[in-house]
Structure 1
Amino acid sequence: MNTIKAVIFDMDGVLIDSENFWSIAEHEIFTSLGVQINSNETKITKSMTTSEVSRFWYDKFPWKGKSLAEVEEMVISRVIDQITNQDCQIPGIDVFIKLLKSNNFKIALATNSPKKIIDPVINKLAVSECFDITLSADQVVSGKPDPAIYLKAAHLLQIHPTECLVVEDSTSGIQAAKNAGMVVAGFTNLNKNSGLGMADYMLNSFCNYEHLPLCFDKTNTSSNNCK
């Protein structure tokens, strides 16, 4: 931790529990256009950006009457509606981010989700003032697992990649951060997620940390009892 100057957060699954929101939105929108969604193929689309998902389903079940951009907007709007109206905050994340900020870390967000979703999320958590920068896959050539978004975040923060710590909950996100040369804390969300073995540290809760270095202690098994 002595060499870390910036902490970069993924969003979905780290700041908010939103995986089900995407599943609901995509199922509603794409099936209404005649797409025959099946569970095997949704596993493929899980790590894609919204535009990539739209193209994926269009290539298999071409629809008429709406452009890819219009369909993407429909999915995004449905997700934002759920974020706004449901309790989806990961317990303790707001306090955790504020603790980092008060200890003079630079704070960034780097997500595969569309840029339009970022403000609704950080405003919901009341942490918008804590972030030095926010980035979406919309703003780089390729989304995760490509390292581009993390390299751009480090460039904008004016921090060397090796001095950045990334908090990620997915294999593709961890791969992107590692390929960018960054230290990675895999957020297990109480062991809901697997496949995080590439991470340098494991983090299972954003609660009950009195001292910052403990946040990324490999042996930490602190339970999540935030309210």
Structure 2
Amino acid sequence: MAKFDQYTGVLFDLHGVIADSSQYHLQAWHQLADELGITWTQSLAERVLGMSRQDSLTTILQAGHQLNRYTAAEQVKLGDRKNQMYLELISQMSPADVLPGIIDFLDELKAQHYGIVLASASVNAPLEIKKMQLTDYFPLIVDPATLTRNKPDPEIYVRAASLLNLSPTNCLGIEDSKTGLTAVNGAGALSVGVGATAEIATADVKFADTAELTLAGIQKQIEQQH
């Protein structure tokens, strides 16, 4: 049975949890789809959220029946092209992009000596953290290039916990997507979902938005369940 005081580490997804930079990702993928003559849809947008660059590209090319049109090397180039567009978009990022309540929550975690790790599938995560002036909170960031599998596989959260020398069972994992929550739950961490009800249905603890995130709020929900 989970007890609140067993948790000493907090593992953060980036997009949709700390910043709404997913809008920039979707904008860049949308631009690439337009260039390739592939119709961009809401359904496509929902599917690529939280996926790695390669998985997102595969999904978009499949949607446009173009997967066989490009060699592996050409697909890497397309991924790089999307990343260039994305970097141009996020070059404008600033502390104003941090979602409501997140700074207060990070301050609370630091004050209570919780371990904090960023577990994002994005290779640009360190740059985004820097642009938002959050580097002091995130000295520990999982490098997605060192992983063999992407979310929904739990590997990224297992790795994040190991950076704190903790078992995932002593960590909270904060996510806003089904894909991410599957990864947190698979790792054995306590999942904290933030966002739309349908998207976070599998979370152990649920909040409608980031402004509600507090240790007291998490503790209350854990204790209510037992």
Q: TM above 0.5, one fold?
A: yes
Shift of 1:46: 3.2
Amino acid at match of 1:187: V
Superposition CA RMSD, Å: 2.5
- Residue 92 of structure 1: how far off its partner (Å): 2.4
Please state which structure has a larger fraction of its residues in helix. Answer: 2
TM alignment of 1:129-144, pairs within 5 A:
129-144=136-151
TM-score (norm 1): 0.81
Matched, 1:3 2:6: yes
Q: 1:98 aligns with which of 89, 104, 107?
A: 107
Query: Which amino acid in the other structure matches residue 12 of structure 1?
Result: H
| Correspondence list, 1:68-79, <5 A | 68-79=75-86
- Please tell me the residue identity of whatever aligns with 1:19: S
Report the CA distance between 1:180 and its aligned residue: 0.6
Structure 1 gap ranges (5+): 220-227
Distance in 2 between residues matched to 1:125 and 1:96, nearest whole Å: 15
1:86-119 CA distance string (max 9 Å, x none): 5432112123213212211110011122x1x112
Deviation at 1:216, TM superposition (A): 4.7
Q: For residues 97 and 141 of structure 1, do their structure 2 counterparts lie closer, same or farther at Cα, with a shift above 3 Å needed? A: same
Structure 2: give runs of 5+ residues left out of the alignment: none
- Flag the 1:39–1:208 CA change in 2: closer, same or farther, 3 A: closer
Task: Give the distance between the partners of 2:40 and 2:111, measured in 1 at CA.
Answer: 46
2:98 pairs, out of 82, 89, 111, with 89
For 1:25, the aligned partner's letter is: A
How far did 1:207 drift? Answer: 4.1
Structure showing greater relative contact order (alpha-carbon pairs closer than 8 Å, 6 or more residues apart): 2
| Residue 120 (str. 1) matches residue 121 (str. 2) | no
Aligned mates of 2:210, 2:55 — CA distance in 1: 31
- State which drifts further: 69-78 or 52-61: 52-61
Q: In the alignment, which residue of structure 2 is the partner of 1:224?
A: none
Give 1:132 deviation, angstroms: 4.0
Provide the rounded CA distance (Å) in 2 between the counterparts of 1:208 and 1:34: 41
Identity %: 24
Instruction: Tell me by how many angstroms 1:123 deviates.
Output: 1.3
The separation in 2 between residues aligned to 1:67 and 1:216, in whole angstroms, is 49
Amino acid at match of 2:108: L
